[in-house]
Structure 1
Amino acid sequence: MAENYTVVRRTTIAAPAADIHAHIHDLHRWVDWSPWEGLDPDLSRTYSGAELGVGARYAWSGNRKAGKGTMEILEDTAPTHVAIRVVFEKPMKSTSRSAFDITENDGVSEVTWTMTGKHSLFSRVAAPLGFFDKLLGKDFEKGLARLKAVSES
């Protein structure tokens, strides 16, 4: 079994790449489209570092569903690419890399969301059943649908 995992989802959004990129590289705007938004109405959020783009950081702490962790933007090539380090402390420890790649053609953009990381003991057991890809993939699909809605409005 592979030591690493990759989850990829794509969508097409009827909006320019720059508009979509603005929602991704500004971590303050993730509340508008993140698939995990709403898991804990009392979620604690802290922003630090750069206001947006490389060096922007976001930390959250919440209930069992929301967990606890941090995100930091590592790469930002406007308007086509944003890469983020995601560190989960709870419910289980893990570190992954999440990337958004945006390709625009005549005002319509394809957005690809990719997450890569090392399997935990749990995900190594679940991975052959497709559980990990289905679980995270479902969240990505929800997030991309929300990103589409806010970008097209």
Structure 2
Amino acid sequence: MAKTLGIVAVVLVAAAALYISTRPERFHVQRSAQLNAPADAAFALINDFHRWEQWSPYEKLDPNLERSFEGPSSGPGAVYAYKGNRNVGEGRMTIQESRPGALVSIQLEFIEPFPSKNTATFELEPSGTGTRVTWSMEGPNTLMGKVMSPFMDGFIGKSMEQGLAALDTAAQAEAKKLQQAQAR
């Protein structure tokens, strides 16, 4: 009996190692949504980490999330560091590139629970009366990423979909504020 269990354990470990070795060296997750607001309204919310509480799905995972900001208030060089519960972990984001109404590229540095460096990109494109926003995340596929790869797209993608829906709501409110300010 023990010999059979040992053989089964060896086969399972070998199967897991084979599976992990077939996973790609990089991952890419992407979601897009049509927002009912102009690009400048959505851009203002993405390009300023102080405003992420209004729409980011990760902000709602820990009511006691510790946040700190460095550098400029928005745009390239703006930094947002966070430390939260096990659902959030610890990390740091730095805006690398920012083109008004078109693009925000962010370096993501995850510290806990699994260290990694990735890139998140928000591409904005005017579309009809609103804006098409594409949120993507990519980076090296670490050992843990390879193990979790069957669930990665669904897990991260679901959060992105929630974030884009909340961004739509926040961007519509932002657009109204911008219109009111212009009318004065």
Shorter-chain TM-score category? over 0.9
Q: Which structure dedicates a bigger proportion of its chain to helix?
A: 2
Name the % identity: 38
Matches within 5 A, 1:1-150: 1-127=23-149, 129=150, 131-150=151-170
- Residue type of the alignment partner of 2:163: G
For normalisation by structure 1, the TM-score amounts to: 0.95
Structure 1: 5+ residue stretches without partners: none
Q: Which has the higher strand share?
A: 1
Aligned-residue offset at 1:126: 2.6
> Contact conserved, 1:17 with 1:107, CA < 8 A, in 2?
no
Letter in 1 for 2:71: G
Consecutive unaligned residues of structure 2, counting only runs of 5 or more, are 1-22, 174-184
**Larger RCO, structure (CA 8 Å, separation 6 or more):** 1
The structure having more radius of gyration, on CA atoms, is 2
Aligned length: 151
Offset at 1:133? 0.5
Q: Deviations over 1:29-49 (max 9, x none)?
A: 000000111211111100001
Structure 2 length-normalised TM: 0.80
Q: Which runs of 4+ in 1 moved over 6 A?
A: none
- Which residue type is aligned with residue 85 of structure 1? Q
Kindly state the Cα deviation for residue 69 of structure 1 after the two structures are TM-superposed. Answer: 0.5
Distance 1:107 1:23 in 2: 18
